[in-house]
Amino acid sequence: MIFADISPFTYTPGATDWLRILPELILLGTGLLTLMADLVAAPGRKGWLALVGLAGVIGALVATVMLWAGGTYGDAFYGMVNDDRVALFASVVILFAVGVGLLFSPGYVERQGIVHAGEYYTLMILAALGMMLMSSASNLMMLFVGLEILSLALYILSAIVTTRRRSQEAGMKYFILSSFASAFLLYGMALTYGATGKTSLAGIRAFVTTHAFTMGSGFGPLLVVALGLMAVGFCFKVSAIPFQAWTPDVYVGAPTSVTAFMSVGTKVAAFVGLARVFLFALSPLRPTWEPVLWVVAVLTMIGGNLLAATQRDVKRMLAYSSVANAGYMMVAVATHTQASFQGLLIYLATYAAMNLGAFGVVLALERRDGQGTTLDDFAGLGRRNPALAALMALFMFALAGTPATAGFIGKWYVFYAAMRGAHVELAIIGLLASLVGVYYYLRVVWAIYFTEPATAPLLVTADESAPVHEPIASASATATGGVALAEPATATGIAMATRVLPAERAPVHLATWLGLALAGVLTLVLGIVPMLMVDWALAAAQTLVK
Amino acid sequence: MVATGYLFAAIFFLGGCAFVLGGLAFADTLNALLLKGRKRAASKFDTYESGEIPLGSAWVQYPLAFYIFALLFVAFDVDIVFILSWAVIFQQLGWFGFVEIVFFIAVLALGLVYAWRKGVIRWI
Amino acid sequence: MVAGDIAFLVLATVAVASAFGVVTFRNPIYSMLSLILNLLSLAFFFLTLESIFVATIQVLIYAGAVMVLFLFVVTMLTPKGGGISGPDRLRWQWTAGIGLAIILAGGLIISLLNGSIADGAKVAGMNGLSAAVARYGNAQAFGEALFHGFSFPFEVTGVLLVIAVLGAVVLSRRFAHE
C-alpha cells in the first residue's frame, strides 16, 4: 500500500475472515436470491420462496455448527465482527427463530392476502442477517449497522399487510419510535468514542480499565452520559419498561408470523448487543450502570406482568408477556456474573422455543380479518382442535415456568445466578412477578379446556376485511375501534356477520404444523434434557465474561 | 485548527451577501422615497407568475411517485459517495478494492433490477 | 487563533438557533428550512475541521438529497399550508424534555470542562489519519480508511440500502400491480 508508512489502515481481509462470517454470507446470498426469484415467480404462487429461504437458513445453521465445532474463533475484518461462542450461540437461536418464522409464513401470507409475498421472505431473511451481525459485532459501528438492518427490515415487515390499517399503523409507530431509540444509541456510541477514542469493544474495555474513572474529573461525566444514552437505546429495543409503549401496538398490528419472529430475534440480538457493550466493554464501569439496569429490570418484571394480566386478547397478552420476559433477562444483565450471562443465553434459547410456539398457535387461529385471537376465541378449542389445544397448553405452561418445560430451565438459571451474584432481591421480585404470570398464562389454558364458546355472534368489522383506500392518517381511529372489538358490548358501528363456525375456520397449513411441532418438541427437550444446551451456554459465557 | 483559506472564502461569502442585501435595501428605500406609487391595490399583493394569474395555492399534495423517486435517488446518491471515495484511490487499493466495490455495486444493482422489474422507474 | 474562534462562535450560534427552530416552528416547511440551515452549518463545521470531503458529502446527501425527500413527505402529508394548529397537547412533555435537555447539556459541559475527550478521538478520527489527510488529501484518506479498515460495515451498508429500496416499493404500493 502506498500509504502504509503513515496510514493505520493497511488491513486486507484474508480467507479466514470470510470463513468466520460464512453463516452471514449464506444468509445474504439467500436473501438476494429470494429477491431475484420473486421477480420470476408467478403472482399468488410464492410459497416456494419460503422453501428457498429455509434451505438458506439450514445452510447457515450447518455453517454455524461447523464453526462451533472448529473451535477456533476470533475477530474478522479489522475487528468488526467475530465468531466467538456467544455469536454462534446467538446465531443458532436467531436461525431457529427465522426458520420457524418462515415455516409459519406460507399459510399465513396466503390467508392474509399479503401481496408483497416475495419481499416478505427477503425481508425476513435480511432481518435475521441484521440480527446475526448485531450479535456478532465486536465494534460499535458494526453493532449499529446490524441494528439498523434488522430494524429497517422489521419496520417494513410490520407494515406489509397493506390492506389492513392496524398493520400500517404498527409499521409507522415502530418506525418513528424505534428510529428515535436508534438516535439515542448512536449518540451514546459517539460520546463513548469521544471519551475513549475507540469504537472497538475490546479497545474501549482496555481504555476504561487503564484510565482513572471518577465523576469529578477525567472521562467520568462523558462516559456516564454515554452510558445513559446507550441504556435508553438498548432498553427500547428489548422493550423494557419505561420504553415499552410501542410493543403491544406493533406486536398486535404486525403479521403474526413476523411478530413471532421479531419478538424472539430482536430480543436475542439486542440482549447480546447489550451484553457485549455493558458486560464486556464497559464492565469496569459496573457501579455506574448497575443501579440503572436494576431499576429497569424491576419495573419491567412488575409492570409487564401486571399489564399482561389485564389483557383479553391473547396476541396482546403475549406482547406484554414479552415485555415481562425482557425484565427477567434484564435481571441476568444487572447481575453481571459469568453464571448470569450463561443464564441469559439459556433464557434466550428457551424463550425462543416457547414464544415462537405460542405466537404460532395464535397465528393458526387468526382469521382473515386479523381478528379471532381473544380469549373467547380460545374457548372450547380443546374439543375443536385437540392437537392445537395441547400445543397451546404446553407453551402456556412453559411460559408460566412449569418444571419439565423449557420455561422452568430459563427462569431457574437466571434467578439462581441472581441469588448467587448478590442480587437475592431481584430473584425474589422476579419469582413474585412470575406468579402473576402463572395467572394469565393458565387463564388461556382454562379457556381452552374448561369454557364453552360464547353464544353471542362474533363480530367482524366490515371495513377491516375489505381493502383499505383511506390514507393512513385515519389509522388511529381504526385502532381504537380494534381495541373496542374485544368488548362486544361497546363496539359500535360494526357490521354484524354470521357466526364463524369451527368447521369454517381455515385449515392449518402443513408448514405451520411443522413449525409448531418443532417449537413444541424443543420446548419439551430443553425442559427435560437441558444439559447439552446449558454446557454450550457456559462455553459461550466463558468467552465474554471472565 | 481552522483552514484560513476557507475563512477567507467565508468572509467573501458574507461580504457578498451583505453587498447584495445592502444594495437591495438601498434600492428599495430609494424606490419607496422617489418612485413608488402611493396607491394600494389588490393586484400589488398577488404572486408574480410571469403575467399569469396564479391558480390556487402552491401547497398541494404531490403524487406518491415523487416520493419514491426521491427515495431511490437518496439510496443511489449514498452509493455515489462510496464509489467516489473508491475512485480517487483505486490504483492504490488494487484488486481487493476492486472486488469490494464490485460486490457493493452488484448488491445495489440487484436492488435496482428489483425496483425496475416492479415498475417503479416507470412514470405514471 | 482569534479568527477561528469567531468562525466557530458564528457557526455555533447559527447551528443552535436553527436546531431550535426545527422543533419550535409549527409549520413543517419552516422546520425543514431551518433543518437545512442546520445541516449547512454542520457542513461548515466540517470545513473548519479541514474535512473537505465530509463537508461536501454533508451538503450533497443531507442538505441536498435527504431534504428533497423530506420536502416530498411534508408536501404529501400537509396540503393547504396547514401547520399544526390548535392547543399544544404535549405541555408536560415540553417541561420534562427541557429538564432532561438541561441535564444532558450539563453533563456534556462538565465533561468538556474536564477535558475528557480522549486523545485518540482528538486526532481527526484515528492516529495518523490526519497525517494521511495532510499528505494525500481528504477523499483519499477517507477512501483508504473505508476500504481497508471499515470495509465490512461498508459492504453491509449496501444491504441496508437495498432494504431501503424494498421498503420504498412495498410501502408505496398497496396492490401487486398498481
Name every chain A residue with its beta carbon within 8 A of the beta carbon of C176. 43, 115-116
pLDDT tens per residue, range A133-154: 999 999 999 999 999 999 999 9
Q: Which helix (H) or strand (E) holds A81?
A: strand A81-82
Is the pLDDT score of A65 beyond 70?
yes
Is the pLDDT score of A489 beyond 60?
no
What is residue B42's DSSP assignment?
G
Give the residue with greater pLDDT, A23 vs A209.
Answer: A23
Q: Which helix (H) or strand (E) holds A82?
A: strand A81-82
pLDDT of residue B8: 77
Name every chain C residue with its beta carbon within 8 A of the beta carbon of B62. 72, 75-76
pLDDT of residue A3: 44
- Angle, helices A117-135 vs A22-40, to 10°: value is 170
Pairwise CB contact (< 8 Å): C128 & A207: no
Mean pLDDT, residues C76-104? 75
Domain residue ranges of chain B, discontinuous segments joined by + = 4-45, 64-117
pLDDT of residue A155: 95
Handedness of CA A138, A139, A144, A149 (dihedral sign): negative
Is the pLDDT score of C93 beyond 90?
no
pLDDT confidence tier of residue A75, bands split at 50, 70 and 90:
confident
Interface with chain A: mutation pick from C103, C151, C159, highest number of A CBs within 10 Å: C159
Is the pLDDT score of A200 beyond 80?
yes
Angstrom distance (rounded) from CA A433 to CA A308: 11
Q: Does residue A353 contact residue A522 with C-beta atoms inside 8 Å?
A: yes
Q: Does residue A233 contact residue A182 with C-beta atoms inside 8 Å?
A: yes
Q: Does residue C60 contact residue B84 with C-beta atoms inside 8 Å?
A: no
Q: Does residue A482 contact residue A506 with C-beta atoms inside 8 Å?
A: no
pLDDT of residue A485: 37
Mean pLDDT, residues A498-509? 57
Mean pLDDT, residues A272-288? 92
Q: Does residue C43 contact residue C10 with C-beta atoms inside 8 Å?
A: no
Is the pLDDT score of A503 beyond 50?
no
Chains that touch A (3 or more CB pairs under 8 A): B, C
pLDDT of residue A150: 94
Angstrom distance (rounded) from CA A203 to CA A187: 19
pLDDT of residue C88: 67
Angstrom distance (rounded) from CA A450 to CA A444: 10
Burial tier of A298 (Cβ tally within 10 Å: 0-12, 13-18, 19+): buried
| pTM, to two decimals | 0.87
Mean pLDDT, residues A102-122? 90
B124 shares contact with chain C (CB less than 8 Å) = no
DSSP assignment string, C143-175: HHIIIIISHHHHHHHHHHHHHHHHHHHHHH-SS
Q: Which helix (H) or strand (E) holds A75?
A: strand A75-76
Least confident of A108-117, B50-59, B110-119: B50-59
Q: What share of chain A is helix, strand, coil (3-state, %, to 5)?
A: 75, 0, 25
pLDDT of residue A518: 94
pLDDT confidence tier of residue B115, bands split at 50, 70 and 90:
confident
Angstrom distance (rounded) from CA B85 to CA B65: 31
Is the pLDDT score of A454 beyond 70?
no
Mean pLDDT, residues A172-191? 93
Pairwise CB contact (< 8 Å): A123 & C166: yes
Is the pLDDT score of C44 beyond 90?
no
Angstrom distance (rounded) from CA A79 to CA A61: 23
Please state, as a whole number, how many other Cβ atoms lie within 10 Å of the Cβ of residue A212.
8
CATH number attached to the domain at C1-79: 1.20.120.1200
pLDDT of residue A472: 39
B37: closest CA of chain C, how far (Å): 32
Give the residue with greater pLDDT, A73 vs A249.
Answer: A249
Q: Does residue A177 contact residue A236 with C-beta atoms inside 8 Å?
A: yes
pLDDT of residue A455: 58
Give the residue with greater pLDDT, C71 vs A58.
Answer: A58
For residue A35, give the nearest of B92, B96, B114 by CB distance. B114
Residues 13-52 of chain B whose Cβ lies under 8 A from any Cβ of chain C: none
| Residues facing A185 on adjacent strands | none
pLDDT of residue A500: 44
Q: Which amino acid is at C92?
A: W
Q: Does residue A181 contact residue A250 with C-beta atoms inside 8 Å?
A: no
Reference A410, options A530, A498, A321; nearest CA is A530
Please state, as a whole number, how many other Cβ atoms lie within 10 Å of the Cβ of residue B7.
17
R_g of chain C computed on alpha carbons:
21
For residue C160, give the nearest of A145, A219, A221 by CB distance. A145
For residue B100, give the nearest of C65, C147, C173 by CB distance. C147
Is the pLDDT score of A497 beyond 50?
no
Give the residue with greater pLDDT, A374 vs A461.
Answer: A374
Query: How much is the mean pLDDT over chain A?
Result: 85
pLDDT of residue A325: 95
Least confident of A287-296, A399-408, A481-490, C29-38: A481-490
pLDDT confidence tier of residue A330, bands split at 50, 70 and 90:
very high
Name every chain C residue with its beta carbon within 8 A of the beta carbon of A116. 170, 176
Give the residue with greater pLDDT, A279 vs C81.
Answer: A279
pLDDT of residue A144: 95
pLDDT of residue A473: 38
Residues 90-109 of chain B whose Cβ lies under 8 A from any Cβ of chain A: 92, 96, 107
pLDDT tens per residue, range C106-161: 888 888 787 667 766 665 444 445 666 666 677 887 888 888 878 899 889 999 98
Mean pLDDT, residues A302-328? 93
Pairwise CB contact (< 8 Å): B72 & C168: yes
How far out from the chain centre does Cα A525 lie? 21
Mean pLDDT, residues A3-7? 47
Cis previous bond, A242, omega within 30: yes
φ/ψ of A180, rounded to 5, equals -55, -50
φ/ψ region of C42 (left if φ > 0, alpha if ψ in -120 to 50, else beta) reads alpha
For residue A12, give the nearest of B96, B107, B113 by CB distance. B96
Name every chain B residue with its beta carbon within 8 A of the beta carbon of C64. 77
Q: ipTM of the predicted structure?
A: 0.86
pLDDT of residue B19: 92
pLDDT confidence tier of residue A17, bands split at 50, 70 and 90:
confident
pLDDT confidence tier of residue A1, bands split at 50, 70 and 90:
very low
Kindly state the percentage of chain C with pLDDT values over 90: 16
Burial tier of B54 (Cβ tally within 10 Å: 0-12, 13-18, 19+): exposed
- Angle at the Cα of C77 (from C76 to C81), degrees rounded to 5? 95
A506: closest CA of chain C, how far (Å): 23
Domain residue ranges of chain C, discontinuous segments joined by + = 1-79, 129-178
pLDDT of residue A478: 40
Angstrom distance (rounded) from CA B73 to CA B78: 9
R_g of chain A computed on alpha carbons:
23
Domain residue ranges of chain A, discontinuous segments joined by + = 17-462+475-544
Q: Which helix (H) or strand (E) holds C101?
A: helix C91-113
pLDDT of residue A496: 39
Query: How much is the mean pLDDT over chain C?
Result: 80
A81 shares contact with chain C (CB less than 8 Å) = yes
Contacts of C39 (CB under 8 A, 6+ apart): C58, C59, C62, C63, C67
pLDDT confidence tier of residue A487, bands split at 50, 70 and 90:
very low
Is the pLDDT score of B76 beyond 90?
no
Name every chain A residue with its beta carbon within 8 A of the beta carbon of B96. 12-13
φ/ψ region of A398 (left if φ > 0, alpha if ψ in -120 to 50, else beta) reads alpha
What length does chain C have?
178
Mean pLDDT, residues C17-45? 89
Mean pLDDT, residues C16-27? 89
Chains that touch B (3 or more CB pairs under 8 A): A, C
Helical segments of A336-405, H only = 338-365, 375-378, 381-384, 386-400
pLDDT of residue C46: 84
C-alpha cell at A378: 380460545
Angstrom distance (rounded) from CA A230 to CA A192: 9
Residues 4-33 of chain A whose Cβ lies under 8 A from any Cβ of chain B: 12-13, 32
B117: closest CA of chain A, how far (Å): 7
φ/ψ of A338, rounded to 5, equals -60, -40
Angstrom distance (rounded) from CA B55 to CA B120: 31
Least confident of A282-296, B88-102, C113-127: C113-127
